[in-house]
A = this chain, B = another copy of it.
Amino acid sequence: MEKKISIKDIAKIVGVSPSLVSMVLNGKAKQYRIGEEVAKRVKETAEEMHYVPNMVAKSLRSGKTQLIGLIVTDISNPFYSAIARIVEDRASELNYTVLISSTDENLKNTERLVEVLLNKGVEGLILVPCDGSKKLVRKLQESHFPTVLLDRYFPDVELSSSCLDNYRAAEMATEHLLSQGYRNISLVAYNTKMQNILDRISGYEDRMKIAGLSAYIHVRKVNILNSKPDIRKALEELIHKEQIDGLIFLTNMLATNGLYCLNEMDVKIPRDVAVVGFNGSDAFDLFYAPITYIKQPVEQIAKEAIDILIKQINKINYTTKLFLEPELIIQQSSRRNP
């Protein structure tokens, strides 16, 4: 790249003041009563010299960075990279740039990243809050810094959020298995206090109770990190001791790891146990018995998050908690007679 052309350089060439050049190049020629002839020459010269405005200087002057932060748990997780892609595209349309960070579900990391992004001058934050981050989130809310929670929320913090209707999703999964004639349906969840997971658990439990199957309610909670051994243990208990006939995995990771374990255990789906997962994947679809799953409206979740955020940045100050509609994709893993 050749050395940068500034507004001064253009001014010198055309023989006018830098201010005039700025006015013209910002389309305010009329407003500031610049002569048409001069305006034209300025524009042409800027073009010829390949002038590109210095965004940093613009930012300093205006106090706006046009930056927003997206903090997820892990950008290499397909769910969040799908989100990132959509946020990125939408932000770009709205003339914003996205800074992405990953917390690995760790509170300290989350706190640090919020700090770092604020230091970098982001004007707003889309945050996937990790377990235990309520205090941090509350502080954000109290500071009135534009923030939207994504995928997860806190019922008692008045902060905008864009999430799946988790309760309804688990209800749908449970209903479906019930409708297929399964009764002894159990749940594999994370060991967490995060509301999205708690909602899913409630959806399942309530549906089981309504069906008069309280006795069959089994919720197994596994560690969110390095969950494979926990899952294996839970599945062995459920299958061999509890004799379950249906399994709902509350996240994609749980389901994927669960499938590995079931394979190792030589448990056949759906012959030995019916399975419903969360979030689709090629692994689900290519499985010998394609897995029935809850499909999240990923695009909508992402779009709403950023649209709400931009509104907040523009001082249209309101708070919405969105609970978006899940969809059940029925495949072979949950069919009674495949």
Contacts and interface: CB of A to CB of B under 8 A. Distances in A.
Contact of A256 (B55, B101, B282): B282
Interface string A29-54: 00000000000000000000000111
A96 B285 CA distance: 39
Interface string A84-100: 11001100100001111
A57 B60 contact: yes
Contacts of A286: 256, 259-260, 263, 283, 286-287
Contacts of A82: 76
B76 A100 contact: no
Contacts of A145: 1
Contacts of A330: none
A110 B74 CA distance: 26
Copies of the chain in the assembly? 2
Most buried by B among A60, A85, A256, A282: A282
Given A56-B60, A98-B100, A84 B88 contact: no
Contacts of A100: 84, 88, 98, 100
B88 A75 contact: yes
A43 B287 CA distance: 61
Interface string A264-292: 00000000000000000111011110000
Contact of A281 (B59, B81, B283, B288): B283
Interface in A286-335: 286-288
Contacts of A259: 286
A119 B88 contact: no
Contacts of A116: 92
A145 B3 CA distance: 11
A118 interface: yes
Contacts of A283: 281-283, 285-286
Interface in A130-166: 143-145
Contact of A74 (B85, B119, B288): B85
A120 interface: yes
A254 to B, nearest CB: 12
B81 A1 contact: no
A118 B1 CA distance: 10
Nearest to A253: B282
A102 interface: yes
Interface string A1-37: 1100000000000000000000000000000000000
Interface of A: 1-2, 52-57, 59-60, 65, 74-78, 81-82, 84-85, 88-89, 92, 97-102, 116, 118-121, 143-145, 256, 259-260, 263, 281-283, 285-288
